[in-house]
Structure 1
Amino acid sequence: MNPEPACADDQVVPVANVKWDIVVVAYNSADDLERHWAGEHLNGWANIIVVDNDSKDQSASISEKFASVTVRSANHGLSRSNNLGAGIGAAPNLLFCNPDVRITPRDLIELEEELAHRNGVVAPRLVGEDGLAQPNARAFPSPWRQISRKTLPTSRSSRSYLWPQTTSGQVDWVTGACVAMKRDTFVAIGGWPESIFLYFEDVELCSRARDNGFGVYIAEHVRVLHSWKQDSKQIISSAGLNHLRSAFKYYRRRPRELFRV
């Protein structure tokens, strides 16, 4: 967790007595930042730390309107930027959010209550603008489950992967769009996996948590808006190639996960 120093603009430094540091990594995210963050009033509730990964749009200048700190960085990938943002603050609770997520003070109160009695990683249930729940808590991935999700979305395998049955709230992993944990937990698991540029970094984060004795939970009653844009279904694309590279790194590290059905 030692990314190269980046340039932090001359803004308000993180407030020492807040309970939350919120890390938002931006990459050409001007529209989402303007829509979901610039109009929200989280002053006094959280430090908002935006790490801009060399955006070519107005992401950095927009974030300066609302963020406690804006960091202009080369694009080293999501994990490294998350770690960089987390290292700037010192609040006891950390929340990592995509730019297309909208957080309210009530969300922070409810997530703090969850962290008070959950020993590990906690995600709210993400909901779209249509009010429908999104599958952001999942069973462990495997090539078969990934293929089923793409080609047989209504199959039992796909549904059990995307919507695992749980009575305790504990799941195998949660997507990185909105993830909360105590700072002590973040430090204990070694932060986000910087060897993974994009995709599978959230799977590995949750696997690290479980390796270190922490749980991974979905808080169904905490509902957070997420203006989700699904990835392109093209395999031969920049996103598709990044996904394959990251999958290779993950399964090389955890070969047993290849055989889940």
Structure 2
Amino acid sequence: MRGQVVEATAKLLTVSLVSHGQGELMRPLIRQLSAIAHEVPLKVVITENLPERRVADDGFGDLDIRYIQNAEPKGFGANHNAAFAFCDTPYFCVVNPDVRLIENPFPALLAQARARPGVVAPRVVANDGAVEDSARKVPRPLVLLRRALTRLTNNRMPPDYAGEGTVPVDWAAGMFLLFDASVFKRLRGFDDRYHLYCEDVDVCLRTWLNGGSVHLANDVIVMHDARRDSHRRLRYLRWHLASMMRLFTSSAYWRFRLRHLAAGN
């Protein structure tokens, strides 16, 4: 009987959240996670990347939360890698603080993860209901230039992957990625030499190259309540360009591209 109780209450999933002084922005997501924790046994690791007043835990119920306070800011990959040190569950999920759960996404995502070890991501929609291009084909310079020109005219390119069901994708955006924890460990997590951009591309390409897979679950939907920070765009542009250069000169990128070319893609 005691063994059965342990089995029933064992945590299945560790969710990693990183706050850049965004405690209030993150509060609705934490409440949503608390509300579904009885359906999917999970725990949450919250990394406070900047000094901030900790969000009061009203409405969080008995949610299992561990806090990490950084002495100095770290990048996306470094923060989630540090959180993974506290992951003792079969699955590890990184989620942005501005993601909102429309319904419980985890039963369906976990079912897909069991069938397809590696990375699984949900379909992401904006707060106006528009589908975001959160899963893409491996980036190429000319395609990125076309995307940039399209954005300058306030238009959107159609998603690289559309339709229904679960489909294999080259990579999925880091705003919501569910990993098989053993795969994440084997990859040694994110490459923290990237800063804020391209960590997700790199880890997905390495997942494919190391025998795992990356899939988009079109029938599982979450919302991205994006908040723009226009006064820091120049800094972000510098980080983005530096990360793109690192990606385009990386072994993982060219091994993946060559594999695609060999397959006729």
TM-score, reference length from structure 1: 0.80
Equivalent of 1:223 in 221, 226, 250 = 221
Is contact 1:63–1:70 with CA below 8 Å preserved after alignment? no
Asked if 1:238 corresponds to 2:235, the answer is: yes
> Residues 110 and 222 of structure 1 are in contact (CA less than 8 Å); yes or no, is this contact kept in structure 2?
yes
Counterpart of 2:68 in structure 1 is: 71
The separation in 2 between residues aligned to 1:113 and 1:140, in whole angstroms, is: 26
Structure 2 stretches lacking a partner, 5+ long: 1-8
> Of 21, 32, 44, which aligns to 1:48?
44
Q: Which runs of 5+ in 1 are unaligned?
A: 1-15
How many Å separate the matches in 2 of 1:213 and 1:230?
36
Distance 2:198 2:66 in 1: 27
Letter in 1 for 2:46: V
Distance (whole Å) between structure 2 residues aligned to residue 188 and residue 63 of structure 1: 36
SS at 1:106 equivalent: coil
Larger Rg: 2
**Matched residue of 2:249: which SS?**
helix
Count of residues paired in the alignment: 239
State the Cα distance separating 1:132 from its structure 2 match: 2.5
1:32 aligns with 2:25: yes
Local SS of the residue matching 2:168: coil
What is the DSSP-based 3-state SS (H/G/I as helix, E as strand, rest coil) of the residue aligned with 1:169? Answer: strand
More helix by share: 2
Give distance in 2, aligned partners of 1:225 and 1:165: 17
Q: Percent identity?
A: 22
2:247 counterpart residue number: 250
What SS does structure 2 have at the residue aligned with 1:250? Answer: helix
Deviations 1:101-155 (A, max 9, x none): 1247721111111111112211000122222221100011122111111103599
Which amino acid is 1:211 matched to? L
The match for 2:168 is 170
State whether residues 170 and 218 of structure 1, in contact with CA within 8 Å, keep that contact through their aligned partners in structure 2.
yes
CA distance in 2, matches of 1:234, 1:72: 24
Task: Kindly indicate whether residue 107 of structure 2 is the aligned counterpart of residue 109 of structure 1.
Answer: yes
Alignment-mate amino acid for residue 122 of structure 2:
P
1:189 paired residue number: 187
2:118 corresponds to which residue?
Answer: 120
CA RMSD of aligned residues (A): 3.1
| Structure 1 contact 50–63 (Cα < 8 Å) conserved | no
- Give the TM-score normalised by structure 2: 0.79
